[in-house]
Amino acid sequence: MGGLGRALVGYGFLIASVNLAAAEPIKLRVADSFPKGHYLVKLVLEPWMEQVQKRTNNAVTFEHYPAQQLGKAADMLKLTQTGVADIGYVAPAYVSDKMPVSEVAMLPGMFEHSCQGTLAYWKAARSGVIAEQDYTPNGIRLLLAVSLPPYRILTVKHPVKDAGDINGLKLRSTGGAQDLTLRAIGAVPVRMAAPDAYESLSRGTMDGLLFPLESVVAYGADKLVKYSTDGFGFASFVVAYSISENAWKKLSPEIQKTMVDAAEEILPSACKEVQKQDSETMKSMEAAGVHFDTLQPDAIAKLTDLTKGVGKAWADGLDARGKHGSDALKEFSAAVAAVK
């Protein structure tokens, strides 16, 4: 073989190597604090990862690290920003000092069911005040979000049948807006991430939880609580997975679009399943001996009156810090109203 032939063969080998390198899949590390097999992972994260991988013909693959394997729930924002995780379960409530505006979706009485909150937050957090205040400055971009069904008060020793029964109770809170809600109804908020709730409850350092039912089961607290309220939504919580801007910019426009499209197709059905799961979990907890007390109209009226000022107090507090809380409240309320 002459010199030209050898050169062409070498050039062909080089081209093949480049093409092979280009075909190497992009591996993204996904981190969260949910225990393995958690229903939200099964309903939201896993279907989304499967769809993205399928639609990109395995050009994108994922490595999932559940149960705080890469770090604590409260550290997920930092872990995502620094690249320890490419995609992290960044719950705004756990970093309310960095993402305060997102708590508009966690105020009492903002929506009646999961899909209202989910679809409103998905829209508002990708453009508008929430995106500008909470996501862009933190160098992250929302990929998935689900608003949990309205929270209940669950207690160990005494049932909550009236507003007065809440006075002085030490209840778990995620902080921020939930703190405001609990103080408004006379409770003492004890701020902590969900994975830490079981230990505090078992030690008696808390009287109960402000929690969605499925999380009570997921973290084993159903073995401790004896009573739950029913009929009034005290607050909610946004479960959100976000990707760092650095990781996002490395993806092609086609892959970026695939990720967004997959989320928009999955979330409307996922939130229905989340709400359905709440009802099913209530039945199973009742069968296991947890007593659900349906709050009577006069109790609901008292609680509604006590919490009606929480949203304005929250918004005014952010406005004073230049964070446009009132704008976020108006924007999110409109987004909720637009959900069919």
Residues 140 and 225 in one domain: no
Residues 68 and 200 in one domain: no
CATH number of the domain where residue 85 is located: 3.40.190.170
> Does any domain span residue 224?
yes
> Does any domain span residue 192?
yes
Q: How many domains does the chain have?
A: 2
pLDDT digits (tens, 9 = 90+) for 244-270: 999 999 999 999 999 999 999 999 999
User: φ, ψ for residue 28 (rounded to 5)?
Assistant: -115, 130
Task: Provide the sign of the torsion angle of the four alpha carbons 228, 232, 235, 240, taken in this order.
Answer: positive
Residue 11 clears pLDDT 80, i.e. is over it: no
Residues 39 and 188 in one domain: no
CA distances in angstroms from 290 to 21, 23, 86, 221, 275, listed in the order given: 57, 54, 40, 11, 19
pLDDT digits (tens, 9 = 90+) for 152-180: 999 999 999 999 999 999 999 998 899 99
Residues 248 and 107 in one domain: yes
Residues 96 and 177 in one domain: no
Q: Which residue has the tokens 């756990």?
A: 94
Q: How confident is the model at residue 7 (pLDDT cuts 50, 70, 90)?
A: very low
Residues 226 and 249 in one domain: no
> Does any domain span residue 189?
yes
| Residues written for the chain | 340
**Using the 8-state DSSP alphabet, how is residue 133 labeled?**
I
Of 16 and 114, which is predicted with more confidence?
114
CA pair distance 214, 190, nearest whole angstrom: 20
Q: How confident is the model at residue 24 (pLDDT cuts 50, 70, 90)?
A: confident
pLDDT digits (tens, 9 = 90+) for 287-329: 999 999 999 999 999 999 999 999 999 999 999 999 999 999 9
Residues 71 and 181 in one domain: no
Q: How confident is the model at residue 47 (pLDDT cuts 50, 70, 90)?
A: very high
Q: How confident is the model at residue 340 (pLDDT cuts 50, 70, 90)?
A: confident
Average pLDDT, the chain: 92
- Provide the CB-side half-sphere exposure for 109 (13 A, CA): 13
Residue 15 clears pLDDT 60, i.e. is over it: no
Structural domain ending residue among the three candidates 260, 276, 292: 276
Range of the domain at 73: 26-149+239-276
Q: How confident is the model at residue 23 (pLDDT cuts 50, 70, 90)?
A: low
Q: Which of 186, 178, 168 is nearest to 108 (CA)?
A: 178
Q: What percent of the chain has pLDDT over 90?
A: 89
CA pair distance 29, 255, nearest whole angstrom: 16
> Does any domain span residue 85?
yes
Nearest-10 Cα torsion for 193, 196, 197, 201: -150
The residue type found at 224 is L
User: φ, ψ for residue 90 (rounded to 5)?
Assistant: -100, 95
Q: Which of 207, 189, 209, 187 is nearest to 197 (CA)?
A: 209
Residues contacting 127, CB < 8 A, separation 6+: none
pTM over the 0.95 mark: no
Exposure pattern of 3-34 as b/e (b: 16+ CB <10 Å)?
Answer: eeeeeeeeeeeeeeeeeeeeeeebebbbbbbb
CA distances in angstroms from 321 to 98, 100, 314, 315, 324, listed in the order given: 13, 11, 11, 10, 8
Residues 76 and 139 in one domain: yes
Residues 125 and 60 in one domain: yes
Of 37 and 10, which is predicted with more confidence?
37
